[in-house]
Structure 1
Amino acid sequence: MKSLPAMTPGKPSPLNSLKARLIVSALLLILILMPLIGFTLNDAFKQQVKTAAKSELSAYIYSVLAVTEVENNQLQMPELLLENQFNVIQSGLYALISTPEGDKTSSNKVTKEWKQVWHSDSFLGIDEPANLPQPAIGQREFAQITLAGKAHIIYSLSVSFEQEGGSFPITLHIIKDQADFQLQIDKFNQTLWSWLLLLMVLLALAQLAWLLWTLKPLAKFKQELQDVENGKTMQLSTDYPNELQAVAYQLNTLLITEQNQRKRYRNALSDLAHSLKTPLAVIQSQKGLDSTSVEQVSNINRIIGHQLKRAQSAAGSSWHLGVKLAPICDKLIRTLGKIYREPELKLNSNVDKDAIFRGDEADLTEVLGNLLDNACKAAKEQVMLDISLSHQELSISIEDDGPGVSEELQSKIFERGTRADSYEQGHGIGLAIVRDLLDSYNGKLVISRSKTLGGARFCITFNQKS
């Protein structure tokens, strides 16, 4: 059966996270929606101010028209108007009356010439603006003009006074400084955008708190999965929202099924080993067997032990196993220290206390035990074990001060079909088992010369990423 390739996660994308996507979408919604609301309200307020200005100037027009009289084609106006601002020089509110002076021909078009015939006292000292609006009789016009270097609004109404000698058309202009209206708009804008900005911040904080609360079960789910991977627990809890309860239940079912299946598988292999060893022991004890037969029976025994260890490896299900290396290393070093007393070896270890091997404890003990035993057999005085965890990569280094491994053997040691017991003493025993276990865990083994002790250096690396 063809094995599936190992999956190595690539570099995570910042937006490859549900939390990041929800937060970004919520912030974008706030950043787009709130300014749109602000611009809409601002435009509505401007339209309201414009309507109010029209109503105000229209009231001024009718108040001036009420006191306007024409006698003998002469305009009669009172000295003072009811609205006091018309009587104060340059008060910001002005009234002008113009009448048609004659026709003007320009570019084959005939237009009427208008001249100013009256203005309020407030207009004294101000130059008459050019191109005043001249709507048709009975029509009115609202516009903006520049007067004395300032922006003003103007409301013009054309009417005609009927007399015995004919009609007397006039256009009444009410001009008001736009500063008052612009001040209202500026104050409204300042208040509006201040409150909108505060509202945006409050909404962003509320959205963030709501999203964190909503996604809290996912964070708990992730933490429990990491605990299962690190061997701290065997199952997930079921205290989740309805959407995650089914997932947690299915994962627990999968874990229990896999554990029971692996247990039955190992028990069956153990029974097979015992059932085969007894007949082989009987055959091996028979008298009269030649040396070739005895050697073949011994080879069968060794092959059975090798293949059983390989088949019993938990590498296929190691994702939810987690074993701390420090206790296992301490136990192995104590055991080897008792075995290799003469000559006495110095066993040094530097093990990261947080280092975790995601796999079966028996497999890890098999790998470390074989390599440390080989190092002790080859060493003269000293063996060094170093284990570190960096960027989710577990690194195990075993060094000795023995003769080392030749370059020829370093290149052949991984070749298929090469017998492990054909290597130099101290480096070949158990390497076939180590090699198969490392292959099943996608581990890498590099053999080189130790720069510190001068002997062999076996460096193993495991990718610990989820």
Structure 2
Amino acid sequence: MRQLSLRLRSILLAIGLLALFAPFTVIILDDAYTESLTQAKMSELRLMNLGLLSAFELDGDLPYMPEILYEEQLNLPGSGYLGIIVFRDEVIWQSASALEYTFTPPDIDVAVGNELFIDNHNPKFASESPFFVYAFTAEFASSRDFEPVRFYIFNDKVLFEQERDTFLTTTWQWIFTLCFVLLVFIVVGISLVLSPVRKLIDEISLTSSGKKPKLDERYPVEFDSLKRSINDLLHTEAKQRTRYKNSLGDLAHSLKTPLAVASGHKSLPAEVKESLSQIDRIIQRQLKRASAGKTGWQNAIRIEPVLHKLADAMDKVYQDKALTIEFDVDEKAQFKGDETDLMELFGNILDNACKAANTQITVYAQINDNWLTVKFDDDGPGIPDDKKSVLLERGMRLDTYTEGHGIGMALVADLVSIYEGRMKIEDSHLGGASITLSFPYHEVEN
């Protein structure tokens, strides 16, 4: 399963956090605003109730209230504010704003000198929305004694809820806007933070393709150790490959002269000369195999020019056979490895095909499912089934090859194995042999 990129992970994490931040923020703001609004409402109703208390007079058993009150809301019908006064369990006065209501004494009992605020009450005269209620009880001198008089202020919560809904709507709009702006800043910030990573990846790609010898750009201090490690790896690999090739060259040079001297001795029997010649071929083959191989820091090679170059050479070598070599090659097909190894691979197979072919050879190259596949077909006699299995089995290990099959195909099998490829031998639709080479393919941008 493909892993998500760091950029996408960071953005998804930011979206998740903002998705949690937005509703929690709105809930907290809503609670704070509702609490503040409720406290303000309590103070407002307390002042109204205090206005009733200061305006009320009791003459014996007769109550007195002015027709026009200082609090305008209690004078206007439909204002949503209602005031009543209860004396001896009877409603003795109600505000002008409550003319359309018929009141019974509320079942809210408050001790003398105490107040009570209720923020969600359904009085008997209201059947729909709840009301705020502020109640206060005071004592007044009557014809009998000091008796309690209860003052009530009712306020319809419709306006309160409308105000709260407006606040919530506005808050959600601003929170969404803020979240969007934050997300934009987060995306930009992530891009800025990851820009050194992208820069490092690009430079590693250039180094991997052989266009730069080492990493030399400046990066944040967190990448210093990684940069040093990669450069050390490149330096060590280059030194090892150079040392290895030099050692192999020295070995080849050291063996070449003694073998040449021994082979040129006139008194040697023919079988000894043949054995020395075979030893020379084995040494050359082993040196070829040891020096071949892929490294992670090479250019990707387009295979089409290589195939055409080899075909031109084969036309000259096998000019007397007048062979036709046709190509069906994907122009984008590339081989990531050593060009000499690629020439050895294709050259040996194409050479064998030219030897076996009567008139025609066809070369196919395509990319399928992250594999580079190159197939060589000829119209020669073909390869017997028992030989196919032998070649494939022995192609897995060089040590089991016999020289009778030729150093060329042995080297092909070795190189295919070194480059983690696969080789398949089948019958060609042209009537001869079909040899297919497949290598893991990763597209490289030049």
Counterpart in the other structure of 1:435: 413
1:184 CA displacement? 2.0
Residue 217 (str. 1) matches residue 217 (str. 2)? no
1:274 CA displacement? 2.1
Rounded to whole Å, the distance in 2 between the matches of 1:358 and 1:162 is 108
Counterpart in the other structure of 1:145: 121
Residue 39 (str. 1) matches residue 27 (str. 2)? yes
RMSD: 2.3
Equivalent residue of 1:342, what SS? helix
Taking the TM superposition and a 5 Å limit, the aligned residue runs for 1:168-317 are: 168-315=147-294, 317=295
Question: Given the alignment, which residue of 379, 396, 401 partners 2:379?
Answer: 401
Rounded to whole Å, the distance in 1 between the matches of 2:282 and 2:88 is 122
Rounded to whole Å, the distance in 1 between the matches of 2:315 and 2:108 is 109
Counterpart in the other structure of 1:8: none
Taking the TM superposition and a 5 Å limit, the aligned residue runs for 1:162-173 are: 162-163=141-142, 165-173=144-152
User: Are the aligned partners of 1:93 and 1:174 in contact in 2 as well (CA < 8 Å)?
Assistant: yes
1:187 CA displacement? 2.0
Q: Which runs of 5 or more structure 2 residues have no equivalent in the other structure?
A: none
Counterpart in the other structure of 1:461: 438
Residue 13 (str. 1) matches residue 7 (str. 2)? no
- CA change 1:252–1:327 in 2 (3 A) is farther
1:368-387, Cα deviation, whole Å (9 max, x unpaired): 11111111111122212222
1:157-183, Cα deviation, whole Å (9 max, x unpaired): 122224462222122111112222222
User: Are the aligned partners of 1:94 and 1:175 in contact in 2 as well (CA < 8 Å)?
Assistant: yes
Rounded to whole Å, the distance in 2 between the matches of 1:318 and 1:120 is 92
1:283 CA displacement? 1.4
Question: Given the alignment, which residue of 12, 16, 31 partners 1:28?
Answer: 16
Rounded to whole Å, the distance in 1 between the matches of 2:415 and 2:85 is 105
Equivalent residue of 2:319, what SS? coil
1:161-216, Cα deviation, whole Å (9 max, x unpaired): 24462222122111112222222222222222111111111110111011111111
Structure ranking higher in helix proportion = 2
Rounded to whole Å, the distance in 1 between the matches of 2:361 and 2:102 is 105
Q: Which runs of 5 or more structure 1 residues have no equivalent in the other structure?
A: 1-10, 102-114
Rounded to whole Å, the distance in 1 between the matches of 2:192 and 2:317 is 57
Q: Which 10-residue stretch deviates more, 206-215 or 337-346? A: 337-346
Rounded to whole Å, the distance in 2 between the matches of 1:385 and 1:129 is 105
Rounded to whole Å, the distance in 2 between the matches of 1:385 and 1:28 is 54
Counterpart in the other structure of 2:389: 411
Q: Which 10-residue stretch deviates more, 298-307 or 162-171? A: 162-171
Equivalent residue of 1:404, what SS? coil
Rounded to whole Å, the distance in 2 between the matches of 1:338 and 1:231 is 33
TM-score by length of structure 2 reads 0.90
Residue 322 (str. 1) matches residue 313 (str. 2)? no
Counterpart in the other structure of 2:71: 83
The share of aligned pairs that are identical, in percent, is 34
Counterpart in the other structure of 1:361: 339
Rounded to whole Å, the distance in 1 between the matches of 2:296 and 2:56 is 101
1:305 CA displacement? 0.8
1:155 CA displacement? 1.2
Alignment length (residue pairs): 435
Question: Given the alignment, which residue of 355, 364, 381 partners 2:359?
Answer: 381
User: Are the aligned partners of 2:86 and 2:105 in contact in 1 as well (CA < 8 Å)?
Assistant: no
1:142 CA displacement? 1.8
Rounded to whole Å, the distance in 2 between the matches of 1:130 and 1:339 is 122
Q: Which 10-residue stretch deviates more, 381-390 or 82-91? A: 82-91
Equivalent residue of 1:199, what SS? helix
- CA change 1:209–1:248 in 2 (3 A) is same
User: Are the aligned partners of 1:73 and 1:168 in contact in 2 as well (CA < 8 Å)?
Assistant: no
1:291 CA displacement? 2.9
Equivalent residue of 1:442, what SS? coil
1:237-293, Cα deviation, whole Å (9 max, x unpaired): 323222224422332232133123212211221221122122112111222322321
Counterpart in the other structure of 1:72: 60
1:202 maps to a residue whose letter is V
Rounded to whole Å, the distance in 2 between the matches of 1:353 and 1:217 is 34
Rounded to whole Å, the distance in 1 between the matches of 2:354 and 2:422 is 22
Rounded to whole Å, the distance in 1 between the matches of 2:392 and 2:265 is 37
1:208 maps to a residue whose letter is V
Residue 92 (str. 1) matches residue 80 (str. 2)? yes
Rounded to whole Å, the distance in 1 between the matches of 2:183 and 2:63 is 65
Counterpart in the other structure of 1:335: 313
Q: Which 10-residue stretch deviates more, 141-150 or 42-51? A: 141-150
1:127 CA displacement? 4.3
Equivalent residue of 1:430, what SS? helix
Counterpart in the other structure of 1:123: 98
1:178 maps to a residue whose letter is K
Q: Which 10-residue stretch deviates more, 225-234 or 302-311? A: 225-234
1:349 maps to a residue whose letter is F
Rounded to whole Å, the distance in 1 between the matches of 2:260 and 2:43 is 116
Equivalent residue of 2:393, what SS? coil
Rounded to whole Å, the distance in 2 between the matches of 1:236 and 1:402 is 51
TM-score by length of structure 1 reads 0.86
Rounded to whole Å, the distance in 1 between the matches of 2:275 and 2:102 is 125
1:455 maps to a residue whose letter is G
Equivalent residue of 1:347, what SS? strand
- CA change 1:258–1:282 in 2 (3 A) is same
User: Are the aligned partners of 1:352 and 1:388 in contact in 2 as well (CA < 8 Å)?
Assistant: yes
Rounded to whole Å, the distance in 1 between the matches of 2:231 and 2:366 is 32
User: Are the aligned partners of 1:413 and 1:420 in contact in 2 as well (CA < 8 Å)?
Assistant: no
2:373 maps to a residue whose letter is S
- CA change 1:369–1:151 in 2 (3 A) is same
User: Are the aligned partners of 2:353 and 2:361 in contact in 1 as well (CA < 8 Å)?
Assistant: yes
1:72 maps to a residue whose letter is G
- CA change 1:236–1:272 in 2 (3 A) is same
